[in-house]
Amino acid sequence: MSLRTPAFRRAYRHLSQRSFINSSRGLADHVRIIEVGPRDGLQNEKTSISVETKVELVRRLAGTGLETIEAGSFSHPKWVPQMAASDRVLSSTLTNPPASSHPITYQWLLPNSKGLDSFFKVMHNVPPATDGYPTPPPSPQHESSSASTPGVGSKVSESNKRNGNNHEVSIFMAATESFSKKNTNCSIQESLDRFAPLMAESRRQGFPVRAYISVALGCPFEGPDTDPHKVADLAVKLLEMGADEISVADTTGMGTAPATKQLLRTLKDAGVRNDDIAMHFHDTFGQALINTMVSLDHGIRAFDSAVGGLGGCPYSPGATGNVATEDLVYTLHSLGAKTGVDLDEMSRIGGWITSEIGKENGSSAGKATLSRLRREAGEA
């Protein structure tokens, strides 16, 4: 959504008066951004994207200060053609790890046991880099993060560390039966049963597991009123099965501020901690940043986003891109939050990748930043 719309300004004024801004800590606590552009951002593109472009996107993103990048998916190319080369992207991060100032957690979406096998095949058979790539010092612990937070916590096993970086796996569920059957061809309970051994084996081999709950704030087949209690029940089951983090996803972008607030309250009442979840907003109806601010007010400190506002879901007709990373960073920094992300560099990447794939840049902050950088370059 535009950073200048009346709705956003009203939400900003309202929330800036709340305790998370005026407390002694303010928003000086760290907010972790999970960059999903290389996977969720590209998966719905119709034109073919070369593996070189995908590898280059991950490489550039690694230099922005991000801690976590969702780099690909081991899905069958028949269903998600753009993810067909994820094995080569993973191989690249192992043999030629992107330069970064700190360890990065790379996440890989696995739709089923075959995807897990393909992931393990690469992880176990591709030799690590031999160029002496240094292992950076561990990332600092943030007061708002628990020891169980993926990418920064003690649950990360030594077996998933390669060249100083970490690797995690992701799975996906749906909060409605209609979307589950359309997306995975099985019921919610059948999905849980199928993913249980995958999660157990991933954790046995030392790979933390992230679980998405899709259509948590609206379903393209059942409408905008997804039952928050069903979302909470599913989150609890996934955590009990061993998920290290739950990404609560507004896949359709139907979510509103009241619905987001109610969902977060329901999750809390069910015993799901803020440190257990990240919020994942799409901007179909221009509500992503407003819902982000509602989530901040609730105490959430982890958010998914995609550079350039890339994204969409092949099983959610009409859904547009994720909240743009540039817009999210700009908003968070304006509130005093620390993300570690370089907005200028992220904006350059947003301009590059959207041009590369022939897509309009979906970030207001990114385009404004690029305009400023061009002016500054002309004045120099």
Residue 313 annotated in active site: yes
Residues in contact with 376: Cβ distance below 8 Å, sequence separation at least 6, in sequence order:
none
The amino acid present at 247, given as its one-letter code, is S
Q: Which of 115, 108, 122 is nearest to 169 (CA)?
A: 108
DSSP-based three-state secondary structure for 209:
strand
Residues in contact with 251: Cβ distance below 8 Å, sequence separation at least 6, in sequence order:
179, 214, 215, 216, 218, 280, 282, 313, 316, 319
Q: Which of 173, 276, 272, 185 is nearest to 226 (CA)?
A: 173
For CA atoms 179, 184, 186, 187, the dihedral sign is negative
Residues in contact with 326: Cβ distance below 8 Å, sequence separation at least 6, in sequence order:
307, 308, 343, 346, 347, 350, 363, 365, 366, 369
The alpha-carbon radius of gyration of the chain (Å, integer) is 19
Q: Which of 213, 313, 335, 337 is catalytic?
A: 313
Instruction: Return d(Cα 232, Cα 184) in angstroms, integer.
Output: 20
- Answer whether 2's CB lies under 8 Å from 309's CB: no
Q: Which of 211, 225, 231 is nearest to 150 (CA)?
A: 211
212: β partners: 172, 247
334: phi then psi, degrees, rounded to nearest 5: -65, -25
Q: Supply the residues annotated as catalytic.
A: 313
